[in-house]
Structure 1
Amino acid sequence: MPRPAASRTSWLRERGMGASILVATISSAFGAVLLSATGYIAAILRADPYIGSSEVLAVVLVVLTVILTGVAVYVAAIVTANTFSTVVAGRTRRIALLRLIGASARSQRSEVARQGLVVGAIGALLGLILGTVLSAAGIALAEPLLGIDDVGYGVVQGVLVVPALIVALTTWAAAWVGSRRVLAVTPLQALGGSVEATHEAVAGRRGRNAGAIALFVAGAALLAAGIALGLVTPLGVVVAFFGGLLSFTGLVLGSTLVMPPVLRLVGRMFGRSATARLAAENALRYPERSSRMAIGVVIGVTLVTMFAVALETVKSVVTASAGGEVDPEFTAVIDTFAGIMMGLVAVSAVIAGVGLVNLLTIGVVQRRRELGLLRSLGVSIGQVRRMVVLEAAHITIAAVVTGLLLGTAYGWAGAQSLLGSVAIPPLWLSPTFVAPAVPWVPVALIVVATAVLTLVAAVVPTRLATRVAPVEALAE
């Protein structure tokens, strides 16, 4: 007898699924808006009698669109994979019971992957509609405000389906990757609950840890080589790009090695009170869960900081090569471009923030028994609330500090490897080597945004944590 349609879709009401749909929606809408903006700008350029035939501008616009959409999809994929990994950890008991009655691990994993495809498809469709509406509204507002003549650009185009398809397939793949934990669930775990890898289990993954370290070391070597080559030719930025990609991938894969020491240092900032120590221990006891929460924010902060530092360092390199004199128009162009890029890259930071809120919420739901035990031992509702807020602050501060350091290093390396050999008038000095230039206003904005993110991320988990009744939680 087939299951009713309501029961087949009941999993959509689980914690984490709504946020995953939101992440897919933002990514798909962002891709649609970028494609529409690129197409509209290209239509304006084609209508210009002087630069309408420029193939270079068209290529630059396409490359920029692909890169920014790819970045948003990359962050969304990591957030989605982490979400499904956490969801699977919460389903450990149910999966083990199904294994006990004969279900295979692969069939369970296929079910999770199918759910990821459904989530991705829903989010991609909503994002496609939202992105198309926003694009049409943006063009309608831009023409009278900027005095642009109608260039006959139609917003509804088949190419807008491309980012939606990419988002749906990426979410499906991310759910498959995030559900790999299903293969390790045994029928004996039917007696337990949510299972997260302990510090000892994470440390025992020698193959993955060794691979992450190898990628990071190789990437760091290429990054250094790109900076050195950049003193001779601008092609050094190509080597530096691959070095940054490899090293950052190594950091993501080895996040359970990188984040715990940072979390331990940050934990000392909160003092030695019982609540602060509980918050710090919660972040360190299960490094995989904490690392999943932090790594999305690390990526978002790294991207925003990288672009800000890169553009500020570009001005420093140009100023040094020119002997201290820079055309004010050049500075204005760089500042304008920096503002646009920061706004676009901020979408990835928003996706990372959604991921943090989502994972913190799921974590509290899966720790009902633990919170119930604390309440039964005499911990007050206020202390539970402070513990959850401190845990959110613990993870976000560690993630922001790591992201600021990585973003500064990557941004400086990119600018230095690109322009280190370029001579600028009037003095035409080359090669030019400068220290990283840090724009303090964007950094301050990142810190303020982090404080806001911490408060927002803790609202829902705190409400859920304070509603836990000790007797009910311990009975689960």
Structure 2
Amino acid sequence: MIAVIREHASTIVVSALSSLFAVTLTLFTGILTAAIDPAVIEAGGTFRVVLMMVALIFILIALYVGAIVTANTFSTIIAGRTRTIALLRLIGASAARVRARVAGEGLAMGLLGAVLGFGIAEALCAAAVTWGPDAGWLPAGRDYPLFDPLTVVAVAIVALTTWVAAWSGSRRVGRVSPIAATGAAVELPADRAGRRPARTVWAVILLIIGVALLAIGIVLGLMTPLALFIAFMGGLFSFTGIALGAHFVMPPLLRISGRALGNGPSGRLAAANAVRFPERSARSTIGLVIGVTLITMFAVALASYETMTLQAFASDPRLAADFTATLAVTTGVFTGLVGFSGVIAAVGLVNTLSLSVLQRTRELGLLRALGFTGAQVRRMVLAESAQMTLTALVFGLVLGVFYGWTAAQTLLGFQTGLMAPAIPWPIIGGIVVCGIALALIAAAAPARRAIRVSPIAALAAQ
């Protein structure tokens, strides 16, 4: 059991973070409502409904990112269990039964993490209402709720989302043949990964539809703010197409960034590893791309919205000053909320890289046997992490700037006309710094593991 929990540590952490986020937002919505008007809780007022709608948007974003990270994690786990699954198939187990077992693991780990997140959220909210009035954060003498039936629903949704993600991530079980029992971990090479016609066709279709809707939204935004809804659907379709087609979108980008790793043996091997198995590289990077895109999109949208609105308020300096102060607080809150999804995506990158290194024990042992030093292996793992993080950062920043500008343009374009996007450089700089730190953190544990095993033991591993 301990081994299973260790293997699914990322799944537990992601589900715990998702549950913590959902339960905390739900409870703090009730606390904030009680702080403003105690009667609103019992009356079910409009204020609480509006807050819950805003909270629901960010909860769904966190669940979406968490589901992708969990599905990618289980895909990587399945790749490492190829030999075990093949042996089960060899002795008569059906693909459906094996897949159900894997999905059951996802449900159990998701429920464990969701309950853990629920407990932490309750403790945080209890601390807030206990010490908040004394610290001046909350009005004294109010009856602050510490339980909401919706929190139980949130825990159940997190667990079920993890189960669905595990089922989706384990879909390759049906493709594992008994003959694969003679091998070890199996990842689809570049030539086979590229031959995914149904998935590729759907990705291209969604991408084309999304880009068309975005273009229509930008044009109509010069006439009506309702174009925002068209642009929203365009962003949803186009980004889903990118996520679905990550197996052919990310490798060319990784190949370009790989040129920056230098001509040394460690750099060349790291660059080759990143594109040798496109699905593994896509799983490692797409979650981080989503996180960076979301944070950048909200930051650019709010910055562009501020610039456009201040232009409209140019004749009223007092109103412009009030708007700027209000928007500064809103930007901080929204960035923090969306940043939580970025943390979930970062956990996925660290875990996927760790699993991929663990499953390449024989490969790393062969490199050591051929003369690679421990330092060279460490540099290779660090270079792989840097390459994937750099690619995800740049791609996510580009997408985020475009989506954020499109949101602001379609909302206020009818007042200001076409304007260039406003780039919030402090936030962009913070994302880059966090990305660099993430690359180092993601590579630290796998690099230590890679050089700890002796070449002989590594070559004997199955």
Same fold by TM-score, threshold 0.5 exceeded?
yes
- How many residues get paired? 457
Listed one character per residue, the Cα deviations across residues 383-434 of structure 1 (whole Å, up to 9, x for unaligned) are 000000010000000000010001111111111111222xxxxxxxx35321
Map of 1:46-85 to 2, 5 A cutoff?
46-47=37-38, 57-85=47-75
**Structure-2 separation of matches of 1:141 and 1:219:** 48
Superposition deviation, residue 234 in structure 1: 1.6
Partner of 2:351: 358
**Structure-1 separation of matches of 2:18 and 2:45:** 28
Superposition deviation, residue 225 in structure 1: 1.4
Residues 236/168 of structure 1: CA separation in 2 closer, same or farther (3 Å cut): same
- The answer to whether the Cα contact below 8 Å between 2:23 and 2:121 also exists between their aligned partners in 1 is yes
Match of 1:251 among 242, 248, 252: 242
Map of 1:15-54 to 2, 5 A cutoff?
15=7, 17-47=8-38
- The answer to whether the Cα contact below 8 Å between 2:5 and 2:109 also exists between their aligned partners in 1 is no
Q: Where does the alignment leave 5 or more consecutive residues of structure 1 unmatched?
A: 1-8, 422-429
**Structure-2 separation of matches of 1:96 and 1:151:** 61
**Structure-2 separation of matches of 1:202 and 1:101:** 28
Deviation larger for 140-149 or 83-92 = 140-149
Residues 200/303 of structure 1: CA separation in 2 closer, same or farther (3 Å cut): same
Match of 2:179 among 188, 202, 217: 188
Q: Where does the alignment leave 5 or more consecutive residues of structure 2 unmatched?
A: none
Partner of 2:212: 221
**Structure-2 separation of matches of 1:43 and 1:226:** 39
**Structure-2 separation of matches of 1:324 and 1:467:** 67
Superposition deviation, residue 57 in structure 1: 3.4
- The answer to whether the Cα contact below 8 Å between 2:386 and 2:439 also exists between their aligned partners in 1 is yes
Superposition deviation, residue 224 in structure 1: 1.6
Structure-2-length-normalised TM-score: 0.96
Aligned amino acid, residue 132 of structure 1: E
Aligned amino acid, residue 106 of structure 1: A
Partner of 1:425: none
Match of 1:397 among 390, 395, 398: 390
Superposition deviation, residue 323 in structure 1: 4.4
**Structure-2 separation of matches of 1:473 and 1:203:** 30
Superposition deviation, residue 136 in structure 1: 1.5
Match of 1:120 among 91, 107, 110: 110
Partner of 2:143: 152
**Structure-2 separation of matches of 1:285 and 1:343:** 36
Partner of 2:428: 443
Listed one character per residue, the Cα deviations across residues 12-37 of structure 1 (whole Å, up to 9, x for unaligned) are 2453x012101110110111110011
Superposition deviation, residue 268 in structure 1: 0.7
Aligned amino acid, residue 207 of structure 2: F
Aligned amino acid, residue 305 of structure 1: T
Match of 2:441 among 447, 456, 463: 456
Q: Secondary structure at the match of 2:170?
A: helix
Structure-1-length-normalised TM-score: 0.93
Superposition deviation, residue 70 in structure 1: 0.5
Superposition deviation, residue 258 in structure 1: 1.1
The alignment yields a C-alpha RMSD, in angstroms, of 1.7
Partner of 1:239: 230
Q: Secondary structure at the match of 1:194?
A: coil
Listed one character per residue, the Cα deviations across residues 428-463 of structure 1 (whole Å, up to 9, x for unaligned) are xx3532111110000000000011101111111011
**Structure-1 separation of matches of 2:24 and 2:94:** 42
1:95 matched to 2:88: no
Aligned amino acid, residue 206 of structure 2: L
Aligned amino acid, residue 291 of structure 2: G
**Structure-2 separation of matches of 1:329 and 1:398:** 39
Q: Secondary structure at the match of 2:49?
A: helix
- The answer to whether the Cα contact below 8 Å between 2:26 and 2:148 also exists between their aligned partners in 1 is no
Partner of 2:362: 369
- The answer to whether the Cα contact below 8 Å between 2:83 and 2:180 also exists between their aligned partners in 1 is yes
Match of 1:105 among 67, 92, 95: 95
- The answer to whether the Cα contact below 8 Å between 1:232 and 1:431 also exists between their aligned partners in 2 is no
1:12 matched to 2:4: yes
**Structure-2 separation of matches of 1:314 and 1:56:** 26
Listed one character per residue, the Cα deviations across residues 207-257 of structure 1 (whole Å, up to 9, x for unaligned) are 111110110110111112122222222211111111111111000000111
**Structure-2 separation of matches of 1:92 and 1:23:** 24
Match of 1:329 among 322, 326, 349: 322
- Calculate percent identity across the aligned residue pairs: 47
**Structure-1 separation of matches of 2:406 and 2:45:** 29
Superposition deviation, residue 39 in structure 1: 1.1
Superposition deviation, residue 287 in structure 1: 0.8
Aligned amino acid, residue 369 of structure 1: R
**Structure-2 separation of matches of 1:431 and 1:469:** 65
**Structure-1 separation of matches of 2:243 and 2:371:** 39
Partner of 1:3: none
